Structure 1
Amino acid sequence: MGRSKRVDGSNLSSETLDSLRSSIKGKVVVKGQSPEEEYRPLLERWNRMHIKEANIIVLPESEEDVSATVKFVAEHNLDVAIASGRHTYSGPSSGYGLIIDMRNLRKVSVDAEKMVAVAQGGSLAGDIESAAEAVGLRPVMGAVNATGCGGITTGGGIGNLSAQYGLVADNLLAARVALADGSIVIASEEENQDLFWGIRGGGSNFGLVTEFTYKLHKADPQVYSGFFMFPPDKVDAYLELMNVMHQDYVMKSNGKFACNGFTAIMGGNPIPGFLVWYDGPEEEGKKYIQPLLDLGPIYPGSGAEMKCHTETTDWKQFEKMFPPQFNRLVGTSTQISYPLSVDILKRTVQKFKEVVATRPENLSVSKLLFDLRDYSKVASVPLDATAYANRREGCLIGVDFIWDKEELDKEMMQVTKDFIAEVRDWIKQDNEQKGIADVGAHVAATTLYALVSDGDEKLVSVFGPNLGRMKELKKKYDPGMMWDKWYPVDPEV
């Protein structure tokens, strides 16, 4: 079937916009008509590289408002984007047409007896974590509490609890979804099972989730967590410790110990570190960090302590690492199999150092990440059980190139693509030498985490062998491609 190009809504008449206003209880903010002090703040995004001047921003107050707005979008063939937490790398929450901004739909209710949380579609991860922690429970969410539950759930979602309980999407019990015609349907294992399959890893391809129902887990609110940083002369020893930390500590903790390596550049030199998290008492947690203490951190006495789990995901602790002017970034990722090639790790750090050195004043807060967490629980779920296709065990290598000037956007986007392409090539060559060339070659797995990517990856890299079924679902639920901002699947291509 043919599809007409979607329009940005700039030519809609006042009468047409008034009809939208009269159909909802929420607010309709229009570029050039609404006060600038009301309009501009609604455009703000965590990644300022993706701020776009939308013509219409709708702030629904209810599911009925969402439904009416989607029907309006369909009637006028508008370009549309969904904004929940607005905390994305690749910018799918921005657009030039109409934005459905879910920020006023953040109600969360917890049933402690049933161990279930119900969250409106605009909820942040922190909203759900705090509500659950208050009654001795935990949801599975991501690394930071500022992330919208909409993006992290439909994109898969990985966090420190994933080693014990799987992806965020694996802990989704049901959802209410606004389809492209504005109708609201339930997606679960009992109703619309195909849609439920698709929204667990397929992003916003099939609709806007107005409500999520999550499985919760019993837990002591206190965990042992903190940072350890090391001087530049420890980089090689730090990288050589990676396999030890993964094999002898992470994988022997029954999912309770999470360890992530990171590298920053200070004064032109790489400063390596580990972020550690242990789901248990301090005396047990200390056993898992002993190799880090033996390596000789810069501040050994302030590395880790007992704190509430919600404190470990609090974005404020990470925000301190990012001065306000450094607010444009590209994140991307790939994966490498265990045991890790220390040579590739060293080359990756060296390449990262070289990129930052090209513009040290503009790229000084960039970060390189090595995710050593246990992915066996995630990988234990069959690849075709959900749309999420990255169910493999491996170390995720991620990079956040972060800069401070708009004029560097195009250059840094290309630099990031070139960086990860080179790292992937090293991994591919290493796999070939080891006789495992099919691993990470889009045969049975993908080679990236789609929530940390540049947004331009090939669909087969994101959805792997699930892409065919994704196309079928797209044809059923969104043949006109209304939802086209996060790795949009075209049923006709």
Structure 2
Amino acid sequence: MTRTARSDGSNLSTQQLDALRTKVNGKVVVKGETPNEEYRPLIERWNRLHVKESNIIVLPESEDDISTTIKFVAEHNLDVTISCGRHTYSGPSSGFGLVIDMRNMRKVTVDAEKKTAKAQGGCIAGDVEKAAESVGLRAVMGAVNATGVGGITTGGGVSNLSGQYGLVADNVVEARVALADGRIVVASETENPDLFWGIRGGGSNFGLVTEFTYKLHECDHEVYGGFLMFSPDKTAKVISMLSTLHSDSIMKSNGKFAATAFFGSMGGVLMPGFMVYYDGPEDEAKKWAKPLFDLEPLTPPSHCGMSPHTATTDWAQFEKLFPPQFNRILGTSTQMDYPIDEAVMTKAVNLYNEVISRHPENLAVSKLIIDLRDYSKIASVPLDATAYANRREGMLIAADFIWDDPALDEEVTAAAKDWMGKVRAMIKESNSQKGIADVGAHVAATTLYALITDGEEKLQAVFGPNLLKMKQVKAKYDPNMMWNKWYPVEPESTS
């Protein structure tokens, strides 16, 4: 199907823009008209690799504002982008055309009796977590509280609570969605169930979620967590213990113990470490974490301890690891089956270190993440139950290449993609899966976590066998592909 290219809005007249301003209560910011000190902060993003100078930014204050803006977009065939937490890896919250910036819609309402929370689409994860915790309940959000609920929820969302409660998307009971024609509809198991299916893992392909309703869980206790760092000479021992730590501690804790290994660049030297989490008392936590303490970490035991769950997701503790100049990020991910192939994992770490060592000062805070969390709850949900397709129990490998110099953009991007290509090839070879990605199989090395990618992965790798249904849902709710920023799915042809 041939479509007219969408305009970036630079051709709109003052009269047309004024017409939009008169119809919305929120602010309409126009590049070149709005003072730079007001405009520039609105286009800033966590990942400066994807900062774009948007021509128009609308900051809605209500669903009516959103509906009006979408109708304006449709009328003028504008390129449109949804921005919530502005915390994406691959840049779908940035655009040159019109950006619907949800930052002013962050109301959260908790019903403690029903154990639910309603959160406007502009909320960040911390808004929901803190509101729930204040009444003795817990919300399933992502790893850090700075991510927007729109992206983390519609993209799937994995956290330290997922071993017990599944994905963030699995904890949505209802949503209000603004469609491409400006209508606001309810999506749930009983109302527009196909749309409800799509927004749980299909990202922003079908509309803008103006409000989520989440189920909450009991939370009357603190949790155990912290970081453990090891000397570089412990790298081989860390790799050799990954499978047994997963099988003997994580998988036997009823989803309560979570551990994420990482290899972080420290002054040009790759150092192994772990982030640990246990939803229970300290004595139990230390039992599950004993293999790590036995490995004699550099950090003292006091680096781990009891705190509210919201303290473990507080972005402030992670932000300290990233000096502000290191703000150009390329993320990529894949999976490996258990028990892991130690030779492949060792080679992956060594290849990663080779990339970092080319510019050790410029890539000084990069990290390779090995997610050992319990994915059995996520995998227990049938693959076709939601659009989210990564419902398997493999070990997630995620790489953050983080640098400070725009002059290195092209080189580091190419090196990161080359690194992941080699790692996937090794995993496929190890699992006798050589070439299987070419026939559309959705296993191990060809499966990724779509919230940690470069944005250019094949749709088959993101959505697997759910892709056909996504095309059908897309044809119903967005046939003209207004929503085309996050792994855009082409609508199924009706010709």
DSSP 3-state at the match of 1:489: coil
**Structure 1 counterpart of 2:79:** 79
Residues 1:313 and 2:308 aligned together: no
Give the C-alpha shift of residue 436 in structure 1.
Answer: 10
8 Å Cα contact 1:133/1:221 also seen in 2: no
Amino acid in the other structure paired with 2:131: A
8 Å Cα contact 1:228/1:298 also seen in 2: yes
Distance 1:310 1:216, change over 3 A: same
Give the C-alpha shift of residue 244 in structure 1.
Answer: 1.4
Unmatched segments (≥5 aa) in structure 2: none
Distance 1:221 1:92, change over 3 A: farther
Mapped to 2, the partners of 1:105 and 1:61 lie a distance apart of: 6
8 Å Cα contact 1:431/1:439 also seen in 2: no
Mapped to 1, the partners of 2:221 and 2:198 lie a distance apart of: 32
Mapped to 1, the partners of 2:344 and 2:372 lie a distance apart of: 15
Amino acid in the other structure paired with 2:419: F
**Structure 2 counterpart of 1:284:** 284
Amino acid in the other structure paired with 2:283: E
**Structure 1 counterpart of 2:447:** 447
Give the C-alpha shift of residue 412 in structure 1.
Answer: 1.5
Amino acid in the other structure paired with 1:368: L
8 Å Cα contact 1:459/1:467 also seen in 2: yes
**Structure 1 counterpart of 2:427:** 427
**Structure 1 counterpart of 2:202:** 202
8 Å Cα contact 1:441/1:447 also seen in 2: no
Residues 1:366 and 2:366 aligned together: yes
C-alpha distance after superposition, 1:385-415 (max 9, x if no partner):
0000000001000000000011211222111
C-alpha distance after superposition, 1:350-370 (max 9, x if no partner):
011100011111111100000
Q: Which moved more, 1:443-452 or 1:353-362?
A: 443-452
DSSP 3-state at the match of 2:190: coil
**Structure 1 counterpart of 2:119:** 119
8 Å Cα contact 1:125/1:147 also seen in 2: yes
**Structure 2 counterpart of 1:145:** 145
Mapped to 2, the partners of 1:136 and 1:267 lie a distance apart of: 42
Mapped to 1, the partners of 2:59 and 2:155 lie a distance apart of: 23
Give the C-alpha shift of residue 162 in structure 1.
Answer: 0.6
Amino acid in the other structure paired with 1:353: N
Q: Write out aligned runs for 1:315-464 (5 A).
A: 315-432=315-432, 442-445=440-443, 447-464=447-464
Mapped to 2, the partners of 1:121 and 1:471 lie a distance apart of: 24
**TM-score, normalization by structure 2:** 0.97
Mapped to 2, the partners of 1:203 and 1:461 lie a distance apart of: 15
Distance 1:188 1:153, change over 3 A: same
8 Å Cα contact 1:329/1:403 also seen in 2: yes
**Structure 2 counterpart of 1:185:** 185
8 Å Cα contact 2:442/2:460 also seen in 1: no
Give the C-alpha shift of residue 59 in structure 1.
Answer: 0.3
Give the C-alpha shift of residue 487 in structure 1.
Answer: 0.1
Q: Which moved more, 1:443-452 or 1:62-71?
A: 443-452
Give the C-alpha shift of residue 301 in structure 1.
Answer: 2.8
**Structure 1 counterpart of 2:107:** 107
CA RMSD of the aligned region, Å? 1.4
Give the C-alpha shift of residue 220 in structure 1.
Answer: 2.6
**Structure 2 counterpart of 1:63:** 63
Mapped to 2, the partners of 1:269 and 1:410 lie a distance apart of: 23
Give the C-alpha shift of residue 239 in structure 1.
Answer: 0.8
8 Å Cα contact 1:440/1:447 also seen in 2: no
**TM-score, normalization by structure 1:** 0.98
Give the C-alpha shift of residue 293 in structure 1.
Answer: 1.0
C-alpha distance after superposition, 1:211-260 (max 9, x if no partner):
00001000234100000000011110111111111000000000000000
Amino acid in the other structure paired with 2:482: M
C-alpha distance after superposition, 1:246-280 (max 9, x if no partner):
00000000000000000112243220001000000
**Structure 2 counterpart of 1:489:** 489
Residues 1:168 and 2:190 aligned together: no
Give the C-alpha shift of residue 348 in structure 1.
Answer: 1.0
DSSP 3-state at the match of 1:209: strand
Report how many aligned residue pairs link the two structures: 491
Mapped to 1, the partners of 2:74 and 2:412 lie a distance apart of: 36
Amino acid in the other structure paired with 1:477: Y
Distance 1:3 1:437, change over 3 A: closer
Give the C-alpha shift of residue 439 in structure 1.
Answer: 9.8
DSSP 3-state at the match of 1:296: coil
Distance 1:442 1:306, change over 3 A: farther
**Structure 1 counterpart of 2:250:** 250
Mapped to 1, the partners of 2:166 and 2:434 lie a distance apart of: 26
**Structure 2 counterpart of 1:135:** 135
Amino acid in the other structure paired with 2:403: W
Mapped to 2, the partners of 1:122 and 1:150 lie a distance apart of: 7
Q: Which moved more, 1:273-282 or 1:1-10?
A: 1-10
8 Å Cα contact 1:331/1:454 also seen in 2: yes
DSSP 3-state at the match of 1:360: coil
DSSP 3-state at the match of 1:362: coil
DSSP 3-state at the match of 2:323: coil
Give aligned-pair identity as a percent: 65
